[in-house]
Amino acid sequence: MAKAIPQETGQLPRGGVAIADYLVVGAGAAGLATALCLGKRGSVILMSKGSPRASASYRAQGGIAYPLPEELNEHAEDTRRTGSALVDEEVLRTYLSRAGDAFAFLEDLGVPFERHPDGSLVRVREGGYTHARIARTADHIGRSLTTAMIHALAHAPSVRILPYARLLRILVHEGNAVGGIFSRRGTPFVVLARMTFLATGGFAGLFARSTHAAHALGEGTFLAWEAGAVLRDLEFVQFHPTALARGRLPLPLLTEALRGSGARIVDAAGVPLLERIHPLGDLAPRDVVARTLYEEGMRGRSAFLDLRPVANLRQRFPTVWRILRRAGFDPERPVPVTPAAHYTIGGILASAEGRTTLPRLFALGEAASTGFHGANRLASNSLLEIFVQSLLACEDATRTEAPLPNEVAAHHARKALDRVPRGLPDVPKSALLRRVRELLWRRAGIVRDGTELRAALDELSRLRQRLVARASPEAVPFLPDAAVLGTATLFVRSALAREESRGVHARRDFPGMEVRPRHTLLLPPKRPDSRDRETFYGFPSPEEGELLRVNAKGIPDGFPSPPTPLP
């Protein structure tokens, strides 16, 4: 049995190096589900930056998309329409064909889905849906899913968990991902594995208005790119239209299921805002609703969510009721709402199973760009993607021959570990993070233009230069500030390159949509020896790496081929 970190004590590995069959980074729904599945096939080390109860998955309210077999075509059409011609058809068909397996996995865990007296599922409708196809557990689906998986992991002896450990670097040996370097309370250590699974989430926490906690800063995205993985469509960040307008982050989410149950978005006089904007009215896709509320705000006008049409609000949406009461709002009166960054659609280019362009590195959940969502995510499709992709990744990994890292790889890992300074901070400096958040919200938020995006790049470059000048050269590559600046810069580069308005990406200077849908690819930075990136050559600038615009389904000449063809 491979040596691993003790599950209950959270002790660091002796000698600074641990080995397992599989390394999973991230303890949201994607990481927990993948660790559970892989734990039946080998030893697993599950690393997380925070508690699973602090993840974005835990706070999910609405539900999980669950189309019945006779509804698959309709659900596919809703997904396509919302995704603005960038949905990958093969991935879409694969995920929908395995929806029943994902739901069976959750029911086996004991997730308490709501049911009618006759035993049939209660399903609700959200924005972008033609009919109700979303299974729910009141309005706390995330808590229900996470709690069930944590309970199952407590009875999975092959899975070892170490929380509050930050990923510093993905290790690569002979062209393969072989694990990572981590830091916990200033002490660095290494985990080596046959395969590495990144479930590190997105970067919606990099905006001043966000429904995410401080954990969602996109470090995993930047580190995957630095290690050699291709990124895709980072410009596609979804803004949820109805976050509760209050000062503190994260902004509480007021689930879209409220509008599916009759709630209306109104102005200060109580006049509905969306009836003349979109045929679906209050159930228009999120990008339409978010831009409408953004434009209202730009005119100095506030928007409100009128919950009075929702029958039995307190019983059906207890989480929302508690949120409003604790924040001092009366649910019997319209409450102020604002759009807020909520979900990263783009990410690490990955196949349906999560394979990236870096062999033996998988990207799962919000960290991945599989093409399932296209340019705009259909509500509640993300949880469906997570559980289908986790099952597929597990099946794929166990079919693939991948030896444990050998002594040479372990030797390189120890040399790399020796170069990591002790006492590194676990979180970025609050002043820098605040500046990045305000900058992205102001210059690269819901509606963008080239002048503002170029100004954002200039400011991010100045912040990076200041960081490099003030910190020691040995520490810079491992500082959380560096990864935050790196992810923010890659995102703005992608937004500047897409000179059109499509899905969640809106440009004032390019309001039209290109006839031929294209992806934005960010190729990784070149290194003197691309096969041994665990030997550090300095902090890569996020301005490095070629940026390509390619036709949907197209692969440009010279694009590094993954171990198996991407769909």
Residue 159, φ and ψ in degrees, nearest 5: -105, 125
Q: In this structure, is residue 94 part of a structural domain?
A: yes
Q: Domain tally for the chain?
A: 2
216-220 long-range contacts (CB < 8 A, ≥24 apart) are: 216/56, 217/428, 217/433, 217/480, 217/483, 217/484, 217/487, 218/344, 218/483, 218/484, 218/487, 218/488, 218/491, 219/166, 219/167, 219/480, 219/483, 219/484, 219/487, 220/25, 220/26, 220/167, 220/348, 220/367
Q: What is the mean pLDDT of residues 477-495?
A: 95
Res 5: pLDDT: 38
* Contact (Cβ atoms closer than 8 angstroms) between residue 255 and residue 323: no
User: Do 56 and 34 have their domain in common?
Assistant: yes
Handedness of CA 341, 347, 351, 356 (dihedral sign): negative
- CATH number of residue 230's parent domain: 3.50.50.60
Where does a domain end: 357, 382, 407?
Answer: 407
Does 482 score more than 60 pLDDT? yes
Q: Which of 493, 495, 233 is nearest to 377 (CA)?
A: 233
Q: In this structure, is residue 31 part of a structural domain?
A: yes
User: Do 352 and 396 have their domain in common?
Assistant: yes
* pLDDT tens-digit readout, 548-559: 988 886 433 333
User: Do 293 and 168 have their domain in common?
Assistant: no
* pLDDT tens-digit readout, 299-343: 899 999 999 999 999 999 998 999 999 999 999 999 999 999 999
Res 554: pLDDT: 44
* pLDDT tens-digit readout, 140-180: 888 999 999 999 999 999 999 998 999 999 999 999 999 99
Q: In this structure, is residue 418 part of a structural domain?
A: no
User: Do 362 and 332 have their domain in common?
Assistant: no
User: Do 305 and 389 have their domain in common?
Assistant: no
User: Please, which pLDDT band fits residue 378 given cuts at 50, 70 and 90?
Assistant: very high
* pLDDT tens-digit readout, 217-229: 999 999 999 999 9
Q: Is 135 helix (H, G, I), strand (E, B) or coil?
A: strand
Q: In this structure, is residue 98 part of a structural domain?
A: yes
Res 520: pLDDT: 96
Q: In this structure, is residue 413 part of a structural domain?
A: no
Does 88 score more than 60 pLDDT? yes
User: Do 56 and 103 have their domain in common?
Assistant: yes
Cα–Cα distance measured from residue 16 to residue 6, given in angstroms and rounded to the nearest whole number: 14
H/E element, 243 = strand 237-244
Where does a domain end: 315, 339, 363?
Answer: 339
User: Do 347 and 318 have their domain in common?
Assistant: no
How would you classify the pairing of strands 187-198 and 361-363? Answer: parallel
Q: What is the mean pLDDT of residues 285-306?
A: 90
Q: In this structure, is residue 187 part of a structural domain?
A: yes
Residue 37, φ and ψ in degrees, nearest 5: -70, -50
User: Do 174 and 284 have their domain in common?
Assistant: no
H/E element, 466 = helix 450-470
User: Do 328 and 356 have their domain in common?
Assistant: no
**Residue type for 420, please?**
V
Q: In this structure, is residue 167 part of a structural domain?
A: yes
User: Do 335 and 347 have their domain in common?
Assistant: no
Q: Which domain holds residue 296?
A: 243-339
- CATH number of residue 313's parent domain: 3.90.700.10
Where does a domain end: 407, 439, 459?
Answer: 407
* pLDDT tens-digit readout, 517-555: 999 999 998 764 444 444 343 557 888 889 998 888 643
User: Do 21 and 169 have their domain in common?
Assistant: yes
Q: In this structure, is residue 320 part of a structural domain?
A: yes
User: Do 320 and 357 have their domain in common?
Assistant: no
Could you tell me how far CA 492 lies from the centroid of its own chain? 17
Q: What average pLDDT does the chain have?
A: 89
Instruction: Report the percent of the chain where pLDDT is more than 70.
Output: 92
Beta bridge partners of 190: 17, 181
For residue 194 the two structure tokens come to 């046959």
Catalytic residues: 286
